[in-house]
Structure 1
């Protein structure tokens, strides 16, 4: 492609809202969690004509079929999205690896001992590794689909919702029909996931502070602590420019890693033998294990933005690239925390392992308070994604000329915090919340949706045995994701109902 052609392509990409991850600062909207949010009013550029991506075969766009079953060939002057990306501050492979590790280490890893309690240590070891491999593979499918769609649309990058819409437009008629709403569906699950994380954070902060205060003062219901933290949570979510939270975020990251280290000290101080723990847990608890592991391992919200911001994005998906190395390390860390945490605390393992360490010990008190502070700060960062989707994506355009637009924005911010607060008050149980969010949101976002997008994207580009293999693989992944979503959500809701019925919530 000549220089003028590249400039024209870049100009087109700047005007395409679904690809706002590239372009000037006035049109680019980024969330701190790394999820580029699609504009609900976006219109993808027209789907390329058949001869632009399949020169040897004419496609009937109305019926979604090829008239000639010829082998796909790349068009002349092939467009490479990686070469067209304009990133202000591109990240190296090492920086991307660290960002991915940091994005995957949070309250989820602290819940892994409880996950192993639901599965048993043997099933937990195998299950966590298998789920981790499946999640990693599905991320590869999503990245591959995004790259292929960017080539066809001649765009430098797409976000998750836009990838879903563009991918379904490329498939047969029954995929085409749902393509217009696919971006909104993806946004719904991202929104549910982010708000769910914020609910978990509300419960986590209140529970850990309560554990410490109970040692020195009379015991109060954990909901009272949630009420105490409500106003500070609202105020911190009023920060519109996240650069003011950056120093606190850096401190919270340091605190988190120190807290992990001290927690490991307590875990290894008194390990029990394998003969004292269940190798295989009760079958009815397996869906809770599935949901918790998905919640803990899956980092689908940060994957595509991190890859889009890389200096060498081709290194991301290589066999020994950033993604595989990062997910390998994450799986090892999560298996280790779950296995040894379960050996230490057994059936008493709670939704956060920090709640198991002795509250009377001053060192443990430091861990609980500092970890609560770190997660408190992170609440604003996670809620920023939800605010971006609801306000910038759906509501702000309606208030563009309203003199009180800022007041409406703060009202939305307040309502979102109140929503996470009320859910936390209603269900102040970390393990139930975590398993529910993992099963309901991440089984779809992390497993089923990438397989559906891959199937539709390459529907007319895989022939014969290759098409059969792709279809069989994706059908298995879709069924696995749907079953995990339905069964995991049902079991989580059933457990929540039981806790309500017996008054333990």
Structure 2
């Protein structure tokens, strides 16, 4: 993975480069199994092996660069949806809930990173990706999980693929909704958002035909600058008038909490890029720790999300929409410019996010089965077009931004960010703990697994129920 992009390629393309290696292209399980044919080994043959000392990274990132990469991914559709999340939870529940969920997510990320280090030490490999960590961990756990280990890598990839495609659906709805808002304000019409989606379909297909990220780099750099400026303008609109708790709910309804949970997970969770970022660091041992890169970045991210959610909700109240940009003044030129700029920035990001889904689908599955065919390039473009059409058709079927965000947050990130890291931790240390330590290992991680499963089931059910109710009226 090239890291020379953080100076000239823009941090969005760096972000995608990091995510796409989760699909299994680097340090796959075959490499993880090198020199370790016995899954029953409880202690590494060489306890002094340090994976950090054996990583060969062409362009390693510094601590500050890694921190920047983690922060940059938080500024997108997720943070723009936080005021709507607080509408579902109330401003007190929302503030406390975001902090608690942020703490849980951070804890699970720490567990995943520690498990990767331990498994790399045992297998004597420099690093692993998420699917390889999951498969290796289960292969060293109890007998039942050993039987499941050959399939868990594919399961993780499927969740990653669904999440990336879901993110692309959110982007389609976001871009189309903001274009609709601009057109309605300028021409005094009420354009169907689906018509806006049809208008942007061909541009979406064309940008996803770009096979090399470096050609998107100049656009992503521009999009990053536009995003920063736009967020400054949004803060201006939020704080230009005194905010008040009058008429705002401190505590939301219990039945709406799963929608809040899914939205916050979608916004906060960066589990897909954690291992690649840590693997590319010049000093990876400084990623964890009480004052490490991860904790510092997560504290800042949670602070930003609580601030945007709290003050956005206190400003707009129950009228807040799926993206706070849609609440900006209709006939204010600056507000319309902000919507247009963010629509362009997210349009560019669609090409980058879908690049990850294409990488997983094509390189790990479809491309391998086709073999060295002459028309392989044609089929690659067919896959690219097909994935765009899937995201487009889903967006057309359900053009509701907040429900999409909540659905994919609950469906995918409850598993990827909570349940899987806890399961990996149990299996990785199953034979190395006993007594009270094993009791705590099981208790703490079973709680996380239960929370993840409940979040997945209840959050997905609630989101789907709201989708049905919304579009059956």
| Change beyond 3 A, Cα 1:437–1:50 | closer
Shift of 1:213: 1.1
Does residue 32 (structure 1) correspond to residue 17 (structure 2)? The answer is yes
Distance 2:65 2:84 in 1: 31
Distance 1:121 1:294 in 2: 17
Query: Does the aligned pair in 2 maintain the 1:204–1:372 contact within 8 Å?
Result: yes
Shift of 1:323: 0.3
Unaligned 5+ residue runs, structure 1?
A: 1-19, 23-29, 55-73
| Change beyond 3 A, Cα 1:195–1:76 | closer
Counterpart in the other structure of 2:104: 134
Does residue 323 (structure 1) correspond to residue 311 (structure 2)? The answer is no
Query: Does the aligned pair in 2 maintain the 1:205–1:375 contact within 8 Å?
Result: yes
Counterpart in the other structure of 1:70: none
Shift of 1:298: 0.4
Does residue 336 (structure 1) correspond to residue 307 (structure 2)? The answer is yes
**2:127 maps to which of 138, 151, 157:** 157
Distance 2:445 2:276 in 1: 24
Matches within 5 A, 1:99-110: 99-110=69-80
Does residue 467 (structure 1) correspond to residue 438 (structure 2)? The answer is yes
Shift of 1:78: 1.6
Does residue 411 (structure 1) correspond to residue 396 (structure 2)? The answer is no
Q: Deviations over 1:3-55 (max 9, x none)?
A: xxxxxxxxxxxxxxxxx999xxxxxxx9525331126996452645489653x
**1:145 maps to which of 112, 115, 125:** 115
| Change beyond 3 A, Cα 1:51–1:374 | closer
Query: Does the aligned pair in 2 maintain the 1:21–1:158 contact within 8 Å?
Result: no
Distance 2:41 2:430 in 1: 16
Q: Deviations over 1:55-100 (max 9, x none)?
A: xxxxxxxxxxxxxxxxxxx655621110000001000000000001
Query: Does the aligned pair in 2 maintain the 1:208–1:354 contact within 8 Å?
Result: yes
Distance 1:428 1:105 in 2: 22
Query: Does the aligned pair in 1 maintain the 2:90–2:251 contact within 8 Å?
Result: yes
Distance 1:384 1:76 in 2: 39
Q: Deviations over 1:436-465 (max 9, x none)?
A: 010000000000000000000000111111
Secondary structure (helix, strand or coil) at the match of 1:359 reads: coil
| Change beyond 3 A, Cα 1:51–1:446 | closer
Secondary structure (helix, strand or coil) at the match of 1:275 reads: coil
Query: Does the aligned pair in 2 maintain the 1:210–1:225 contact within 8 Å?
Result: yes
Counterpart in the other structure of 1:310: 281
**2:33 maps to which of 10, 32, 45:** 45
Query: Does the aligned pair in 1 maintain the 2:20–2:360 contact within 8 Å?
Result: no
**Number of residues of Structure 1 aligned to a counterpart in Structure 2:** 457
By relative contact order (CA 8 Å, sep 6+), the higher-ranking structure is 2
Secondary structure (helix, strand or coil) at the match of 1:32 reads: helix
Bigger Rg over Cα: 1
Q: Deviations over 1:121-171 (max 9, x none)?
A: 000010000000000000001001111110111110100001000000010
Q: Deviations over 1:348-400 (max 9, x none)?
A: 11110000001210000110000000000000100011001100000111223
Counterpart in the other structure of 1:190: 160
**1:488 maps to which of 459, 463, 466:** 459
Query: Does the aligned pair in 1 maintain the 2:39–2:139 contact within 8 Å?
Result: no
Matches within 5 A, 1:267-416: 267-416=238-387
Secondary structure (helix, strand or coil) at the match of 2:138 reads: helix
Distance 1:110 1:220 in 2: 23
Q: Deviations over 1:227-275 (max 9, x none)?
A: 0000000000000010010111011111111111100111112344223
Distance 1:33 1:338 in 2: 28
Secondary structure (helix, strand or coil) at the match of 1:402 reads: coil
Secondary structure (helix, strand or coil) at the match of 2:252 reads: coil
Distance 2:180 2:18 in 1: 28
Counterpart in the other structure of 2:61: 91
Distance 1:50 1:109 in 2: 43
Report the TM-score, using the length of structure 1 for normalisation: 0.88
Which protein has the bigger helix share? 2
Secondary structure (helix, strand or coil) at the match of 2:164 reads: helix
Query: Does the aligned pair in 2 maintain the 1:34–1:306 contact within 8 Å?
Result: no
Counterpart in the other structure of 2:426: 455
Secondary structure (helix, strand or coil) at the match of 2:20 reads: coil
Query: Does the aligned pair in 1 maintain the 2:320–2:327 contact within 8 Å?
Result: yes
Shift of 1:205: 0.3
